Amino acid sequence: MYEPRTYRHWVKSGDLISFNVVVKETDLYIRASSNLKRKASRLVLDYRHTLERYIERHPTFLTSLGPVPVTGDAPRIIKEMSAAATRVGVGPMASVAGAIAEFVGSRLLSFSPEIIVENGGDIYLKSSEKRTVGIYAGNSPLTGKIGLEINGRDTPLGICTSSGTIGPSLSHGKADAVIVLSKSAALADASATAIGNLINRPEDIPAGIDFARGIDGLRGVVIIKNDKIGLWGKVKLCQMSALGGDQCLRPGLPGSWV
């Protein structure tokens, strides 16, 4: 079922130019210092072609729900997707949205010093200043109430979300939102799926946090189920305000509840 992507306007970046690139299932919302739609479209076509050709020769890469080894001559995006998925025990396509966002975004940095690429709730962000990223968690009462403050010095950064209650992506859990921060958007995407698979009730949040702690390469995690939230790592939450002037709150301890 199609989920209206109203959350696409929840990254505060009024100083940047926005445009969309849509190729088949890939639907990117990009913000940059200038309109780079033509360049971005070519990059999306190239990376999709790379993925499609590899999947034609290795169809289990598309369908497997567990890690899949790749050939030594596999393209870099394929290798990074496989490595990320293997690290957390999910299928390689669990990392595809984050990987495409990162690979497209990192190439566009040659033409814009700041880039935000959003791909179905998965974000690649490079900024020279502080940005606030609103959190969309479906029917949770926390939707639109809190966000993440991201310092420019911590970017480029992958900020990826998995949900078992909204959107078309496969999840074995029922988390309203699992948000993962990592330098690798492919790893953040795969990890969000793996963590989300563990969450069916608010009481499962501590187990999800424990699992996240064991994943090398993550910077922080937010897990939301109903009105409960668990935090771990370098996460700074903000109380969102429709009138501006967001108040940012640092969690007291890793894994603390708010």
Tens digits of residue pLDDT in 202-213: 999 999 999 999
Evaluate if residue 9 carries a pLDDT over 60: no
Q: Which residues of 96-110 are buried (b: 16+ CB within 10 A; e: fewer)?
A: bbbbbbbbbbbbbee
Whether the per-residue pLDDT at 10 is higher than 90: the answer is: no
CA angle 158, 163, 168 (to 5 degrees): 100
- Which three-class secondary structure string do you get for 118-174? EECCEEEEECCCCEEEECCCCCCCCCCCEEEEECHHHCCEEEEEECCCCCCCCCCCC
pLDDT at 136: 86
Name the phi and psi angles at 136, rounded to 5. Answer: -105, 120
Average pLDDT over residues 192-198: 95
Say what the pLDDT of residue 165 is.
Answer: 65
So what's the pLDDT on residue 13?
A: 54
Q: How far apart are CA 94 and CA 143, in angstroms?
A: 24
Predicted local distance difference test score (pLDDT) of residue 168: 54
Average pLDDT over residues 24-47: 96
pLDDT by residue (tens digit) across 130-189? 998 888 888 888 888 888 999 999 999 999 999 876 655 556 678 999 999 999 999 999
* Spacing of C-alpha 235 from chain mean position: 15
Q: Which of 113-122, 141-150, 180-189, 221-230 has the lowest mean pLDDT?
A: 141-150
Contact (Cβ atoms closer than 8 angstroms) between residue 183 and residue 232: no
**Which SS3 state, helix, strand or coil, does residue 66 take?**
coil
What distances in angstroms separate CA 179 from CA 85, 187, 209, 239, one per listed residue? 16, 12, 11, 16
- The better pLDDT of the pair 246, 103 is held by 103
| pLDDT at res. 191 | 98
pLDDT (0 to 100) of residue 142: 87
- The answer to whether residue 242 scores a pLDDT higher than 70 is no
Instruction: Judge residue 153's burial from the number of C-beta atoms within 10 Å of its C-beta, 0-12 exposed, 13-18 middle, 19 or more buried.
Output: exposed
pLDDT at 167: 55
What's 74's DSSP letter? -
Structure tokens at 63: 């369908």
Rounded Cα–Cα distance for residues 153 and 202 (Å):
33
Instruction: Catalogue all structural domains in the chain, each as residue range(s) with its CATH number.
Output: 11-249 (3.10.520.10)
Instruction: Tell me the Ramachandran region of residue 119: left when phi exceeds 0, alpha when psi lies from -120 to 50, beta otherwise.
Output: beta
3-state secondary structure 221-250: EEEEECCEEEEEECCCEEECCCCCCCEEEC
Is the CB of residue 191 less than 8 Å from the CB of residue 218? yes
